[in-house]
Copies of this chain bind each other. A is one copy, B any other.
């Protein structure tokens, strides 16, 4: 089952780190790591099973493409449940590189690095190398400009 989850994730899963401008934060930017797996609702049994396995995360409906998305956003759950799983049962595809960058970001966050300019620069750099085909709200240059 453990290796099955890694295989399924290698096809359908996504590790990503997004950023939001937040005036209330001294640093001005919120860092939001997320592990997610989307699936059509009529085939959602697998993601419910994966949620049960990880004992964390939530389901949310994506009305834009009529899928159900299993998502883990809490840093502690990512650090203690999700990341250890994929260290033990690695992905086989190039997505493993995304995972390594994702894990690196989460570990920086564990040490509060998202609250310092130099730490957040490192996080932005790693995050922007992930999922090159995905859309980003802000480019790496826009984010780094905010940290000057």
Contact: A46 with B10, CB < 8 Å?
yes
Number of copies of this chain that the complex holds: 2
Is A1 an interface residue when CB atoms closer than 8 A count as contact? yes
Is A12 an interface residue when CB atoms closer than 8 A count as contact? yes
Is A92 an interface residue when CB atoms closer than 8 A count as contact? yes
A interface, over-half SS: helix
Interface size in chain A (residues, C-beta < 8 A):
22
Instruction: Report how far A89 CA is from B2 CA in the complex, Å.
Output: 12
A9, A11, A95, most chain B CB atoms within 10 A: A11
Encoded as 1 (CB less than 8 Å from any B CB) or 0, chain A from 9 to 43 comes to: 11110000000000000000000000000000011
* 20 more CB-based (< 8 A) A-B contacts, given A5-B7, A8-B10: A1-B3, A4-B7, A4-B10, A4-B89, A4-B92, A6-B7, A7-B7, A7-B11, A8-B8, A8-B11, A8-B92, A10-B11, A11-B11, A11-B46, A12-B12, A42-B94, A43-B94, A43-B95, A45-B92, A49-B92
Is A93 an interface residue when CB atoms closer than 8 A count as contact? yes
